[in-house]
Amino acid sequence: MSSSTMPAADAAWLHMDRPANPMVVNSVIWFDEPLDWELVKGVISRRIVDQFPRFRRRVGDPLGRPPRFEDDSEFDIEQHLHRLALPAPGDQAALQDLVSDLITPPLDPTRPLWHAYLIDGYGNGCAILFRIHHCIADGIALGRVMLSLTDAQVDAGIAPPPRPGSSGRRVSLDTVTRPAGAAISAARRVTGAVVHEGLETLARPAHITELAGTASQDAATLAKLLASPPDTHTVLRESLHGTRRVAWSKPFPLDRIRTAGRRKSGTINDVLITAVTGALRTELERHGDVPDDIHIMVPFNLRPLDEALPRDLGNDFALILLALPVGIEDRGARSREVKMRMDAIKDSHEGPISYGILSAIGATPPAVEDRLIGFFTQKASAVVTNVPGPREQVYFAGTPVEGVLVWAPCSGSIGMTVSIFSYMGEVTVGFMSDTGLVPDPQPLVDAFDAELRALCRGTRTRTRRAPTRS
């Protein structure tokens, strides 16, 4: 049985696991048509398990310093793939409820730390939920892993069987096991669309590399990360219950957001973060509890997006601590303040320094590590991820993908994570919250939608027709 030492950054996320807060990346992909179960299993086996060894390796001695990845001699993919039926009425609310139930339990530590669920009966289609531990890879990398399951063309060699009475040909599972190079090439074509003008990352990976050489000299940035006090106590910083709920928006046209940003010499990110700020302000107002600022952790990528993912995956990202001006009542003034803060942070050294802190956390003795994790995560009230997906339609096992969300875990005492995902020229936003903070995140989704529409008022574009759910 082969084994390898877990890199310090990956070990940090493994050791951040808490009973009320497992460090699991949760992603949902939904479809307007049913998927063939055997093809689904074949695609996942060939394009994930066979390509990335960590999906068939378990954590040996998880409390070790450092822990190790080791081959699971009893690995059986059937223990990681599950098929469920969505309860009536099979609409988005029902899917949100089922996903909420499935994401609460921790993963089995004696097996490779991932699971996938095919959920039948979502309207006329279905959905897939992936649960993957953060020690395997960061959320941005796992988003790309999920995209490696897809193809840019419907006839790329994997298609569902013909319906009764149709003249289509049935594709055997042999086509799923096509040469690995073909699948990887398809994934690169898909993920190549990630680097576009619409949803830019908060910092350019190449620029981060340039800054890394001098980051250790930036005492001011280090002080901001380590010497800043815990975030203001609000309803978003209450004790966690350990149960989670999710809700997500209808897709919103990316062009309208881009136009709204340009009107104020800003970016799509500026508009989206302003809308998140407004939604959180609305939630805080409901409790009569609005401070001047609250802070969020924003992960951003350190890997060049035009390069293939390494087979060992891992965590190669940084965290930015961003103050949201929730105390500003006027929407226009709030928007200008968000843009100013976003501009100030883009060229800072904060990313490399935070990556160094995360790596250091994973290499410290348990007592010190626990204090560092608590110290680091007390500084924010939520995690917000912004992941750009393909601009064009992609297909999973020959079936069109209709939407995607990827939620990063909430480390330490943080109990809310927000997923922003762009796909096919539209943006979907999902909130995941611990029930001890926000028992029902749907009002947050509604508030975000209202804020985004207000910020984009006066912009128009042709939208993709929303699918009809039965």
Rounded mean pLDDT, 359-380: 55
Residue 76: predicted pLDDT: 92
Residue 192's pLDDT band (cuts 50, 70, 90): very low
Asked whether residue 400 carries a pLDDT value surpassing 90, the answer given is yes
Residue 312's pLDDT band (cuts 50, 70, 90): confident
Rounded mean pLDDT, 145-170: 57
Residue 284: predicted pLDDT: 95
Residue 182's pLDDT band (cuts 50, 70, 90): very low
Amino acid at 318: A
Architecture in CATH of 205-384+425-455: 2-Layer Sandwich (3.30)
Angstrom CA distances, 200 to 255, 272, 300, 305, stand at: 14, 12, 10, 11
Rounded mean pLDDT, 85-114: 94
Model confidence pLDDT, tens digit, residues 210-255: 444 444 445 455 455 555 677 888 999 888 898 999 999 999 999 9
Residue 411: predicted pLDDT: 72
Tokens 């995607």 correspond to what residue? 404
Domain boundaries, the chain: 3-192, 205-384+425-455
Fold equal for 3-192 and 205-384+425-455: yes
Asked whether residue 456 carries a pLDDT value surpassing 90, the answer given is yes
Beta-bridge partners for 433: 245, 416
Amino acid at 435: T
Beta-bridge partners for 319: 299
Beta-bridge partners for 421: 387, 428
Averaged pLDDT of the chain: 77
Kindly tell me the sign of the dihedral angle through the C-alpha atoms of 158, 161, 166, 168. positive
Asked whether residue 202 carries a pLDDT value surpassing 90, the answer given is no
Asked whether residue 364 carries a pLDDT value surpassing 70, the answer given is no
Higher-confidence residue: 425 or 193?
425
Name the pairing type of β-strands 114-122 and 24-31: unpaired
Q: DSSP letters along 227-246, please?
A: HSPPPPPSGGGS---S-EEE
Q: Could you tell me which CATH class the domain 3-192 is placed in?
A: alpha beta
Residue 273: predicted pLDDT: 94
Residue 373: predicted pLDDT: 55
Asked whether residue 8 carries a pLDDT value surpassing 80, the answer given is no
Higher-confidence residue: 381 or 175?
381
Asked whether residue 354 carries a pLDDT value surpassing 80, the answer given is no
Residue 45: predicted pLDDT: 92
Asked whether residue 463 carries a pLDDT value surpassing 50, the answer given is no
Residue 183: predicted pLDDT: 37
Residue 55's pLDDT band (cuts 50, 70, 90): very high
Residue 151: predicted pLDDT: 82
